[in-house]
A and B are shown apart, each in its own frame.
Chain A
Amino acid sequence: MAFGIVGYGVYIPRWRIKIEEIAKVWGHDPDSYKKGLGVEEKAVPSMDEDATTIAVESARNALKRSKEVKPGEVGAIYVGSESHPYAVKPTAATVAEAIGLTPNITAADTEFACKAATAAMQACLGLTKGGYMKYGISIGADTAQSAPGDALEYTAAAGGAAYVIGGGEGVIAEVEGTHSYTQDVPDFWRRDGAQYPKHAGRFTGEPAYFEHVINCSRALFEKLGTSAKDYDYAVFHQPNAKFPLRAAKALGFDEEKVLPGLIVSKVGNTYSGSSLLGLAAVLDVAREGDRILMTSYGSGAGSDSFSFRVTGSVEQKRRLSPPVSYYVERREYIDYSTYARYQRLLKG
Protein backbone atom coordinates (compact mmCIF):
# COMPACT_ATOMS: atom_id res chain seq x y z
CA MET A 1 0.00 0.00 0.00
CA ALA A 2 1.21 3.50 -0.85
CA PHE A 3 1.82 5.91 2.05
CA GLY A 4 2.13 9.67 1.83
CA ILE A 5 0.00 12.80 1.60
CA VAL A 6 -3.76 12.17 1.74
CA GLY A 7 -4.80 15.84 1.88
CA TYR A 8 -3.27 19.29 2.24
CA GLY A 9 -4.53 22.76 3.08
CA VAL A 10 -3.02 26.21 3.47
CA TYR A 11 -3.74 29.60 5.00
CA ILE A 12 -2.11 33.02 4.61
CA PRO A 13 -3.42 36.15 6.40
CA ARG A 14 -4.89 38.94 4.27
CA TRP A 15 -2.57 41.84 5.13
CA ARG A 16 0.68 42.69 3.29
CA ILE A 17 3.46 45.21 3.81
CA LYS A 18 5.84 46.14 1.01
CA ILE A 19 9.63 46.19 1.36
CA GLU A 20 9.60 49.90 0.39
CA GLU A 21 7.32 50.73 3.33
CA ILE A 22 9.65 49.05 5.86
CA ALA A 23 12.81 50.54 4.28
CA LYS A 24 11.30 54.05 4.41
CA VAL A 25 10.98 53.86 8.19
CA TRP A 26 14.58 52.79 8.81
CA GLY A 27 16.27 54.84 6.09
CA HIS A 28 17.42 51.73 4.23
CA ASP A 29 17.74 51.46 0.45
CA PRO A 30 14.66 49.44 -0.60
CA ASP A 31 16.14 48.32 -3.93
CA SER A 32 19.17 46.72 -2.33
CA TYR A 33 16.88 44.70 0.00
CA LYS A 34 14.47 43.78 -2.79
CA LYS A 35 17.34 42.70 -5.03
CA GLY A 36 19.33 41.04 -2.26
CA LEU A 37 16.40 39.03 -0.92
CA GLY A 38 14.26 38.65 -4.04
CA VAL A 39 11.26 39.56 -1.86
CA GLU A 40 8.69 42.27 -2.68
CA GLU A 41 6.24 42.04 0.24
CA LYS A 42 5.31 39.89 3.22
CA ALA A 43 2.12 38.61 4.84
CA VAL A 44 1.13 40.15 8.19
CA PRO A 45 -1.38 38.61 10.63
CA SER A 46 -4.33 40.48 12.11
CA MET A 47 -4.19 41.16 15.84
CA ASP A 48 -6.58 38.27 16.46
CA GLU A 49 -4.48 35.77 14.47
CA ASP A 50 -1.61 33.67 15.80
CA ALA A 51 0.07 30.33 15.03
CA THR A 52 -2.94 28.51 16.54
CA THR A 53 -5.58 30.24 14.40
CA ILE A 54 -3.43 29.83 11.27
CA ALA A 55 -2.97 26.12 12.09
CA VAL A 56 -6.74 25.66 12.51
CA GLU A 57 -7.55 27.36 9.18
CA SER A 58 -4.90 25.26 7.37
CA ALA A 59 -6.11 22.04 9.00
CA ARG A 60 -9.74 22.74 8.09
CA ASN A 61 -8.69 23.28 4.47
CA ALA A 62 -6.66 20.03 4.55
CA LEU A 63 -9.62 18.03 5.92
CA LYS A 64 -11.85 19.37 3.11
CA ARG A 65 -9.43 17.62 0.75
CA SER A 66 -9.53 14.41 2.83
CA LYS A 67 -13.23 13.49 2.71
CA GLU A 68 -12.51 9.79 3.29
CA VAL A 69 -10.89 10.54 6.66
CA LYS A 70 -13.24 10.02 9.60
CA PRO A 71 -12.53 11.81 12.91
CA GLY A 72 -11.84 8.56 14.83
CA GLU A 73 -9.22 7.52 12.28
CA VAL A 74 -6.80 10.39 12.94
CA GLY A 75 -4.48 9.19 15.71
CA ALA A 76 -1.97 12.04 15.89
CA ILE A 77 -1.75 15.78 15.41
CA TYR A 78 1.48 17.77 15.55
CA VAL A 79 1.95 21.50 15.17
CA GLY A 80 5.41 22.78 14.30
CA SER A 81 6.04 26.47 15.01
CA GLU A 82 8.52 29.04 16.31
CA SER A 83 5.63 31.16 17.55
CA HIS A 84 3.46 28.89 19.69
CA PRO A 85 1.25 31.36 21.64
CA TYR A 86 1.98 29.57 24.92
CA ALA A 87 5.38 28.41 26.18
CA VAL A 88 3.47 25.78 28.18
CA LYS A 89 0.06 24.69 26.83
CA PRO A 90 -0.04 22.84 23.54
CA THR A 91 -1.19 24.52 20.34
CA ALA A 92 -1.92 21.03 18.97
CA ALA A 93 -4.62 20.34 21.62
CA THR A 94 -6.49 23.54 20.69
CA VAL A 95 -6.23 22.70 16.99
CA ALA A 96 -7.43 19.11 17.59
CA GLU A 97 -10.42 20.46 19.53
CA ALA A 98 -11.24 23.03 16.83
CA ILE A 99 -11.26 20.44 14.05
CA GLY A 100 -13.24 17.92 16.08
CA LEU A 101 -10.60 15.21 16.58
CA THR A 102 -10.58 15.01 20.39
CA PRO A 103 -10.30 13.13 22.71
CA ASN A 104 -8.82 9.86 21.37
CA ILE A 105 -5.72 11.35 19.76
CA THR A 106 -2.10 12.07 20.64
CA ALA A 107 -1.12 15.73 20.20
CA ALA A 108 2.16 17.59 20.57
CA ASP A 109 3.90 20.78 19.51
CA THR A 110 7.20 20.33 17.73
CA GLU A 111 10.12 22.74 17.53
CA PHE A 112 13.11 22.82 15.20
CA ALA A 113 13.18 26.39 13.88
CA CYS A 114 11.62 26.26 10.41
CA LYS A 115 11.59 22.47 9.94
CA ALA A 116 9.47 21.45 12.95
CA ALA A 117 6.55 20.38 10.76
CA THR A 118 8.55 18.30 8.25
CA ALA A 119 10.00 16.40 11.22
CA ALA A 120 6.39 15.82 12.34
CA MET A 121 5.51 14.60 8.83
CA GLN A 122 8.17 11.92 9.22
CA ALA A 123 6.68 10.96 12.61
CA CYS A 124 3.20 10.66 11.05
CA LEU A 125 4.62 8.58 8.22
CA GLY A 126 6.23 6.18 10.71
CA LEU A 127 3.10 5.90 12.87
CA THR A 128 0.77 5.25 9.93
CA LYS A 129 3.08 2.98 7.95
CA GLY A 130 3.87 1.08 11.15
CA GLY A 131 0.15 0.40 11.58
CA TYR A 132 -0.30 2.30 14.85
CA MET A 133 -2.98 4.54 13.35
CA LYS A 134 -4.69 5.18 10.04
CA TYR A 135 -3.94 8.90 9.67
CA GLY A 136 -1.81 11.60 11.27
CA ILE A 137 -1.79 15.36 10.74
CA SER A 138 1.27 17.59 10.63
CA ILE A 139 0.91 21.37 10.53
CA GLY A 140 3.51 24.10 10.11
CA ALA A 141 2.25 27.55 11.16
CA ASP A 142 4.03 30.72 12.20
CA THR A 143 3.63 34.39 12.89
CA ALA A 144 7.35 34.99 12.58
CA GLN A 145 9.04 37.41 14.95
CA SER A 146 11.70 39.94 14.02
CA ALA A 147 13.20 42.87 15.89
CA PRO A 148 12.14 46.24 14.39
CA GLY A 149 14.86 47.50 12.04
CA ASP A 150 16.60 44.10 11.82
CA ALA A 151 17.17 42.60 8.35
CA LEU A 152 14.74 39.83 9.37
CA GLU A 153 11.91 42.36 9.49
CA TYR A 154 11.86 42.44 5.66
CA THR A 155 10.90 38.78 5.41
CA ALA A 156 9.49 37.46 8.74
CA ALA A 157 5.90 36.64 7.73
CA ALA A 158 2.79 34.67 8.70
CA GLY A 159 1.17 31.62 7.12
CA GLY A 160 0.78 27.89 7.43
CA ALA A 161 0.11 24.56 5.78
CA ALA A 162 -1.39 21.30 7.05
CA TYR A 163 -0.85 17.78 5.74
CA VAL A 164 -2.93 14.67 6.39
CA ILE A 165 -0.57 11.68 6.21
CA GLY A 166 -1.66 8.08 5.73
CA GLY A 167 -2.00 5.21 3.29
CA GLY A 168 -4.45 3.82 0.76
CA GLU A 169 -6.14 4.84 -2.46
CA GLY A 170 -6.67 8.41 -1.29
CA VAL A 171 -2.93 9.16 -1.31
CA ILE A 172 -2.25 12.09 -3.66
CA ALA A 173 1.54 12.07 -3.28
CA GLU A 174 3.34 8.91 -2.26
CA VAL A 175 6.50 9.29 -0.17
CA GLU A 176 9.20 7.32 -2.01
CA GLY A 177 11.79 8.06 0.63
CA THR A 178 12.92 10.55 3.23
CA HIS A 179 16.28 11.52 4.71
CA SER A 180 17.41 13.90 7.45
CA TYR A 181 20.70 15.71 8.08
CA THR A 182 21.40 17.38 11.44
CA GLN A 183 24.36 19.16 13.08
CA ASP A 184 24.79 21.69 15.91
CA VAL A 185 25.16 25.05 14.12
CA PRO A 186 24.65 28.44 15.85
CA ASP A 187 23.19 30.33 12.86
CA PHE A 188 19.87 31.59 14.28
CA TRP A 189 18.36 31.28 17.73
CA ARG A 190 15.98 32.73 20.29
CA ARG A 191 16.78 32.25 23.97
CA ASP A 192 13.97 31.26 26.34
CA GLY A 193 11.98 34.38 27.27
CA ALA A 194 13.57 36.53 24.56
CA GLN A 195 11.09 38.41 22.37
CA TYR A 196 13.07 38.36 19.12
CA PRO A 197 15.48 35.90 17.52
CA LYS A 198 19.14 36.65 16.86
CA HIS A 199 21.19 35.49 13.90
CA ALA A 200 24.80 35.23 12.86
CA GLY A 201 24.43 37.32 9.68
CA ARG A 202 26.32 35.88 6.69
CA PHE A 203 27.01 32.74 8.72
CA THR A 204 23.42 31.65 7.93
CA GLY A 205 24.42 30.78 4.33
CA GLU A 206 27.31 28.38 3.72
CA PRO A 207 27.75 26.40 6.97
CA ALA A 208 24.05 26.48 7.74
CA TYR A 209 21.43 26.58 4.94
CA PHE A 210 23.52 25.33 1.99
CA GLU A 211 25.47 22.70 3.94
CA HIS A 212 22.24 21.07 5.17
CA VAL A 213 19.86 21.58 2.25
CA ILE A 214 22.33 20.40 -0.39
CA ASN A 215 23.81 17.47 1.54
CA CYS A 216 20.44 16.23 2.77
CA SER A 217 19.01 16.28 -0.77
CA ARG A 218 22.11 14.52 -2.12
CA ALA A 219 21.92 11.82 0.55
CA LEU A 220 18.28 11.15 -0.39
CA PHE A 221 19.28 10.96 -4.09
CA GLU A 222 21.89 8.38 -3.13
CA LYS A 223 19.41 6.34 -1.07
CA LEU A 224 16.90 6.22 -3.93
CA GLY A 225 19.35 6.14 -6.85
CA THR A 226 17.88 9.36 -8.25
CA SER A 227 19.25 12.71 -9.39
CA ALA A 228 17.83 16.14 -10.23
CA LYS A 229 16.84 15.03 -13.73
CA ASP A 230 14.38 12.46 -12.27
CA TYR A 231 12.27 15.21 -10.66
CA ASP A 232 9.68 17.52 -12.21
CA TYR A 233 9.65 19.94 -9.27
CA ALA A 234 11.95 20.91 -6.41
CA VAL A 235 10.85 22.76 -3.28
CA PHE A 236 13.26 24.13 -0.69
CA HIS A 237 12.91 26.12 2.51
CA GLN A 238 12.64 29.71 1.28
CA PRO A 239 13.91 32.34 3.76
CA ASN A 240 14.39 34.52 0.66
CA ALA A 241 14.25 33.85 -3.08
CA LYS A 242 18.03 33.66 -3.55
CA PHE A 243 18.93 30.73 -1.24
CA PRO A 244 16.57 28.10 -2.75
CA LEU A 245 17.59 29.01 -6.31
CA ARG A 246 21.29 28.72 -5.43
CA ALA A 247 20.76 25.37 -3.69
CA ALA A 248 18.75 24.15 -6.69
CA LYS A 249 21.55 25.11 -9.07
CA ALA A 250 24.13 23.29 -6.96
CA LEU A 251 21.95 20.17 -7.07
CA GLY A 252 21.48 20.38 -10.84
CA PHE A 253 17.89 21.67 -11.02
CA ASP A 254 16.78 24.15 -13.69
CA GLU A 255 15.02 27.24 -12.38
CA GLU A 256 11.75 26.15 -14.07
CA LYS A 257 11.48 23.22 -11.65
CA VAL A 258 11.81 25.51 -8.62
CA LEU A 259 9.71 28.55 -9.60
CA PRO A 260 6.22 26.91 -9.26
CA GLY A 261 6.90 26.28 -5.56
CA LEU A 262 8.75 29.54 -4.88
CA ILE A 263 6.23 31.87 -3.23
CA VAL A 264 8.50 33.79 -0.83
CA SER A 265 8.62 36.89 -3.14
CA LYS A 266 4.93 37.62 -2.54
CA VAL A 267 4.40 36.18 0.95
CA GLY A 268 7.71 36.43 2.80
CA ASN A 269 9.32 33.75 4.96
CA THR A 270 6.55 31.90 6.80
CA TYR A 271 9.15 29.94 8.83
CA SER A 272 7.56 26.56 9.72
CA GLY A 273 5.06 27.07 6.89
CA SER A 274 7.71 27.94 4.29
CA SER A 275 8.67 24.70 2.49
CA LEU A 276 5.19 23.22 3.14
CA LEU A 277 3.44 26.18 1.47
CA GLY A 278 5.86 25.76 -1.45
CA LEU A 279 4.98 22.05 -1.67
CA ALA A 280 1.26 22.92 -1.60
CA ALA A 281 1.75 25.38 -4.50
CA VAL A 282 3.34 22.53 -6.49
CA LEU A 283 0.56 20.06 -5.56
CA ASP A 284 -1.90 22.70 -6.87
CA VAL A 285 -0.46 22.24 -10.39
CA ALA A 286 1.26 18.80 -10.45
CA ARG A 287 0.02 15.88 -12.56
CA GLU A 288 -0.11 12.14 -12.06
CA GLY A 289 3.36 10.62 -12.21
CA ASP A 290 5.22 13.86 -11.44
CA ARG A 291 8.05 13.53 -8.94
CA ILE A 292 8.75 16.25 -6.37
CA LEU A 293 11.81 16.78 -4.17
CA MET A 294 11.14 18.78 -1.02
CA THR A 295 13.89 19.75 1.41
CA SER A 296 13.13 21.81 4.48
CA TYR A 297 15.66 23.67 6.61
CA GLY A 298 15.60 24.54 10.27
CA SER A 299 18.27 26.64 11.92
CA GLY A 300 20.31 25.06 14.61
CA ALA A 301 20.53 23.15 12.16
CA GLY A 302 18.95 20.44 10.05
CA SER A 303 17.11 19.47 6.89
CA ASP A 304 14.47 16.87 6.03
CA SER A 305 14.25 15.73 2.41
CA PHE A 306 11.29 13.92 0.86
CA SER A 307 10.83 12.34 -2.54
CA PHE A 308 7.16 12.36 -3.63
CA ARG A 309 5.42 10.74 -6.58
CA VAL A 310 2.07 12.37 -7.44
CA THR A 311 -0.92 10.06 -8.02
CA GLY A 312 -4.10 10.51 -10.08
CA SER A 313 -6.14 11.35 -6.95
CA VAL A 314 -4.64 14.85 -6.84
CA GLU A 315 -6.83 16.17 -9.68
CA GLN A 316 -10.21 15.88 -7.94
CA LYS A 317 -8.97 16.48 -4.38
CA ARG A 318 -7.23 19.79 -5.00
CA ARG A 319 -10.51 21.37 -6.14
CA LEU A 320 -11.99 20.93 -2.67
CA SER A 321 -10.25 23.83 -0.91
CA PRO A 322 -8.50 27.08 -1.91
CA PRO A 323 -5.15 26.86 -3.75
CA VAL A 324 -2.06 28.75 -2.55
CA SER A 325 -2.52 31.27 -5.41
CA TYR A 326 -5.92 32.29 -3.96
CA TYR A 327 -4.33 33.27 -0.66
CA VAL A 328 -1.34 34.93 -2.37
CA GLU A 329 -3.70 37.15 -4.37
CA ARG A 330 -6.15 37.79 -1.50
CA ARG A 331 -4.26 40.75 -0.12
CA GLU A 332 -4.60 44.27 1.18
CA TYR A 333 -1.63 46.55 1.79
CA ILE A 334 -1.02 48.28 5.11
CA ASP A 335 1.44 51.03 6.03
CA TYR A 336 4.14 50.71 8.69
CA SER A 337 2.09 52.41 11.41
CA THR A 338 -0.76 49.92 10.95
CA TYR A 339 1.83 47.12 10.79
CA ALA A 340 3.37 48.36 14.05
CA ARG A 341 -0.08 48.30 15.67
CA TYR A 342 -0.87 44.80 14.34
CA GLN A 343 2.52 43.54 15.57
CA ARG A 344 1.94 45.25 18.92
CA LEU A 345 5.13 47.28 18.60
CA LEU A 346 3.33 50.31 20.06
CA LYS A 347 2.71 50.35 23.77
CA GLY A 348 -0.22 52.49 24.95
Chain B
Amino acid sequence: MAVSSAGIPQHWRTIKERYRLLGAHCERCGSNYFPPRNVCPRCRRRGKMAQVEFSGKGKVYSYTVVNASSKAFEQYMPYVVALVELDEGPRVLSQIVDCKPEEVKIGMEVEACFRKIFEQEDGGIISYGFKFRPSDGSWACRETGQRSS
Protein backbone atom coordinates (compact mmCIF):
# COMPACT_ATOMS: atom_id res chain seq x y z
CA MET B 1 0.00 0.00 0.00
CA ALA B 2 1.39 3.37 -0.96
CA VAL B 3 1.55 6.06 1.71
CA SER B 4 1.91 9.74 0.97
CA SER B 5 5.42 10.55 -0.16
CA ALA B 6 4.91 14.18 0.86
CA GLY B 7 7.96 15.44 2.67
CA ILE B 8 10.14 12.43 1.87
CA PRO B 9 12.46 14.24 -0.60
CA GLN B 10 13.01 17.10 1.88
CA HIS B 11 13.56 14.62 4.71
CA TRP B 12 16.14 12.75 2.63
CA ARG B 13 17.96 15.89 1.47
CA THR B 14 18.51 17.11 5.04
CA ILE B 15 19.46 13.78 6.67
CA LYS B 16 23.17 14.55 7.03
CA GLU B 17 22.68 17.99 8.57
CA ARG B 18 19.98 16.77 10.98
CA TYR B 19 21.80 13.60 12.04
CA ARG B 20 25.23 15.12 12.51
CA LEU B 21 24.70 18.89 12.86
CA LEU B 22 26.61 19.45 9.64
CA GLY B 23 26.86 23.14 8.75
CA ALA B 24 28.93 25.43 6.57
CA HIS B 25 32.13 27.31 7.41
CA CYS B 26 33.48 30.22 5.38
CA GLU B 27 37.22 29.75 5.15
CA ARG B 28 37.66 33.43 4.22
CA CYS B 29 35.88 35.21 7.09
CA GLY B 30 35.51 32.33 9.55
CA SER B 31 31.70 32.56 9.83
CA ASN B 32 29.70 29.41 10.56
CA TYR B 33 26.19 28.70 9.28
CA PHE B 34 23.42 26.29 10.16
CA PRO B 35 21.58 25.15 8.17
CA PRO B 36 24.48 25.05 5.71
CA ARG B 37 24.63 27.70 2.98
CA ASN B 38 26.28 27.54 -0.42
CA VAL B 39 27.32 31.20 -0.44
CA CYS B 40 28.72 33.25 2.47
CA PRO B 41 26.41 36.30 2.75
CA ARG B 42 29.33 38.40 4.06
CA CYS B 43 31.98 37.49 1.50
CA ARG B 44 29.66 36.76 -1.43
CA ARG B 45 31.67 35.60 -4.43
CA ARG B 46 34.99 35.95 -2.59
CA GLY B 47 33.93 33.53 0.15
CA LYS B 48 34.97 29.87 0.27
CA MET B 49 32.50 27.54 1.94
CA ALA B 50 33.43 24.19 3.50
CA GLN B 51 31.36 21.58 5.35
CA VAL B 52 31.83 21.52 9.13
CA GLU B 53 30.49 19.18 11.85
CA PHE B 54 29.55 21.24 14.90
CA SER B 55 30.44 20.00 18.41
CA GLY B 56 26.82 19.93 19.54
CA LYS B 57 27.64 22.08 22.58
CA GLY B 58 25.84 25.35 23.15
CA LYS B 59 23.67 27.53 25.40
CA VAL B 60 19.95 28.29 25.49
CA TYR B 61 19.63 31.74 23.86
CA SER B 62 15.87 31.88 24.35
CA TYR B 63 12.99 29.43 24.69
CA THR B 64 9.26 28.96 24.90
CA VAL B 65 7.03 26.28 26.42
CA VAL B 66 4.55 24.90 23.92
CA ASN B 67 1.14 24.14 25.43
CA ALA B 68 -0.84 24.17 22.20
CA SER B 69 0.95 22.41 19.39
CA SER B 70 0.21 21.16 15.93
CA LYS B 71 -1.24 17.62 15.87
CA ALA B 72 2.08 15.98 15.00
CA PHE B 73 3.69 17.10 18.28
CA GLU B 74 0.69 16.88 20.65
CA GLN B 75 2.11 13.75 22.26
CA TYR B 76 5.07 15.73 23.64
CA MET B 77 3.07 18.56 25.29
CA PRO B 78 4.03 20.53 27.23
CA TYR B 79 7.44 20.73 25.57
CA VAL B 80 10.23 23.26 25.26
CA VAL B 81 11.41 24.74 21.98
CA ALA B 82 14.59 26.79 22.25
CA LEU B 83 16.97 28.82 20.17
CA VAL B 84 20.28 27.21 21.01
CA GLU B 85 23.42 29.22 20.35
CA LEU B 86 26.12 26.75 19.37
CA ASP B 87 29.67 27.26 20.67
CA GLU B 88 30.63 27.79 17.02
CA GLY B 89 28.15 30.67 16.65
CA PRO B 90 25.02 29.65 14.73
CA ARG B 91 21.64 29.64 16.49
CA VAL B 92 19.50 26.59 15.86
CA LEU B 93 15.87 25.90 16.72
CA SER B 94 15.38 22.69 18.67
CA GLN B 95 13.34 20.87 21.27
CA ILE B 96 14.99 20.61 24.73
CA VAL B 97 14.56 17.10 26.18
CA ASP B 98 15.42 15.10 29.31
CA CYS B 99 14.27 17.90 31.60
CA LYS B 100 11.04 19.52 32.78
CA PRO B 101 9.90 22.84 31.21
CA GLU B 102 10.48 24.65 34.54
CA GLU B 103 14.10 23.48 34.62
CA VAL B 104 15.03 25.28 31.38
CA LYS B 105 16.81 28.64 31.83
CA ILE B 106 18.27 31.17 29.40
CA GLY B 107 22.04 30.64 29.31
CA MET B 108 21.74 26.98 30.35
CA GLU B 109 24.45 24.78 28.83
CA VAL B 110 23.07 22.11 26.53
CA GLU B 111 24.43 19.33 24.30
CA ALA B 112 23.05 17.70 21.18
CA CYS B 113 21.48 14.24 21.38
CA PHE B 114 19.86 11.98 18.77
CA ARG B 115 16.07 11.61 18.88
CA LYS B 116 12.97 11.00 16.82
CA ILE B 117 11.74 14.38 15.53
CA PHE B 118 8.60 13.42 13.66
CA GLU B 119 6.72 10.29 12.61
CA GLN B 120 4.51 10.23 9.53
CA GLU B 121 1.04 8.79 10.10
CA ASP B 122 -0.17 5.48 8.63
CA GLY B 123 3.13 3.61 8.72
CA GLY B 124 5.13 6.38 7.07
CA ILE B 125 8.73 7.26 7.73
CA ILE B 126 10.39 8.30 10.99
CA SER B 127 12.47 11.49 10.84
CA TYR B 128 15.42 11.40 13.21
CA GLY B 129 17.75 14.24 14.11
CA PHE B 130 19.33 16.36 16.81
CA LYS B 131 17.57 17.73 19.84
CA PHE B 132 19.30 19.22 22.89
CA ARG B 133 19.46 18.11 26.51
CA PRO B 134 21.05 19.79 29.56
CA SER B 135 24.85 19.29 29.56
CA ASP B 136 26.12 17.03 32.29
CA GLY B 137 29.85 16.57 32.60
CA SER B 138 29.61 15.23 36.17
CA TRP B 139 30.72 11.75 35.10
CA ALA B 140 34.15 13.06 34.02
CA CYS B 141 35.12 13.83 37.65
CA ARG B 142 34.29 10.34 38.84
CA GLU B 143 36.96 8.07 40.17
CA THR B 144 36.89 5.01 37.94
CA GLY B 145 39.21 2.05 37.86
CA GLN B 146 38.55 1.22 41.50
CA ARG B 147 37.44 -2.21 42.50
CA SER B 148 34.28 -2.22 44.56
CA SER B 149 35.79 -4.56 47.16
- Point out residues on A near B: beta carbons under 8 Å: 14, 46-50, 52-53, 56-57, 60, 85-86, 94, 97-98, 100, 256, 259-260, 284-285, 287, 315, 318-319, 322-323, 325-326, 330, 341
Q: Are A57 and B139 in contact (CB under 8 A)?
A: no
Q: Are A285 and B128 in contact (CB under 8 A)?
A: no
Q: Are B114 and A57 in contact (CB under 8 A)?
A: yes
Partner of A48, one of B20, B117, B138: B117
Is B11 at the interface (CB under 8 A from chain A)? no
Closest to B95 in A: A48
Contact of A53 with B19 at beta-carbon distance under 8 Å, contacts A94-B128, A326-B139 already known: no
- Point out residues on B near A: beta carbons under 8 Å: 15-16, 19-20, 53, 75-76, 95, 97-98, 113-117, 126, 128, 131, 136, 138-140, 142, 144-149
Contact of A318 with B136 at beta-carbon distance under 8 Å, contacts A46-B97, A53-B128, A98-B19 already known: no
The residues of A that contact B144 with a CB separation of less than 8 Å are 284-285, 318-319, 323
Partner of B116, one of A50, A319, A325, A326: A50
Q: Are B138 and A98 in contact (CB under 8 A)?
A: no
Q: Are B131 and A325 in contact (CB under 8 A)?
A: no
Between-chain CB contacts (< 8 Å), 5 pairs: A47-B75, A48-B117, A53-B128, A259-B148, A319-B140
- A100-B52 Cα distance, complex, nearest whole Å: 12
- A230-B23 Cα distance, complex, nearest whole Å: 52
Closest to A290 in B: B147
A-B contact count (CB 8 A): 70
- A23-B59 Cα distance, complex, nearest whole Å: 41
Q: Are A260 and B148 in contact (CB under 8 A)?
A: yes
Contact of A97 with B16 at beta-carbon distance under 8 Å, contacts A53-B116, A319-B144 already known: yes
- Expressed in whole angstroms, the minimum distance between the Cβ of B36 and any Cβ of chain A is 15
Q: Are A100 and B114 in contact (CB under 8 A)?
A: no
Closest to B56 in A: A60
Contact of A48 with B148 at beta-carbon distance under 8 Å, contacts A56-B114, A100-B20, A322-B139 already known: no
The residues of B that contact A14 with a CB separation of less than 8 Å are 98
- A323-B20 Cα distance, complex, nearest whole Å: 23
Q: Are B145 and A85 in contact (CB under 8 A)?
A: no
- Expressed in whole angstroms, the minimum distance between the Cβ of A259 and any Cβ of chain B is 8
- A196-B148 Cα distance, complex, nearest whole Å: 38
- A192-B81 Cα distance, complex, nearest whole Å: 38
- Expressed in whole angstroms, the minimum distance between the Cβ of A221 and any Cβ of chain B is 24
The residues of A that contact B142 with a CB separation of less than 8 Å are 323, 325-326
- A289-B20 Cα distance, complex, nearest whole Å: 38
- A60-B19 Cα distance, complex, nearest whole Å: 12
Q: Are A285 and B131 in contact (CB under 8 A)?
A: no
Most chain A CB within 10 A, of B97, B138, B145, is at: B145
Q: Are B139 and A48 in contact (CB under 8 A)?
A: no
Most chain A CB within 10 A, of B15, B136, B144, is at: B144
- A57-B147 Cα distance, complex, nearest whole Å: 27
Q: Are A326 and B117 in contact (CB under 8 A)?
A: no
The residues of B that contact A97 with a CB separation of less than 8 Å are 15-16, 19-20
The residues of B that contact A46 with a CB separation of less than 8 Å are 97-98, 115
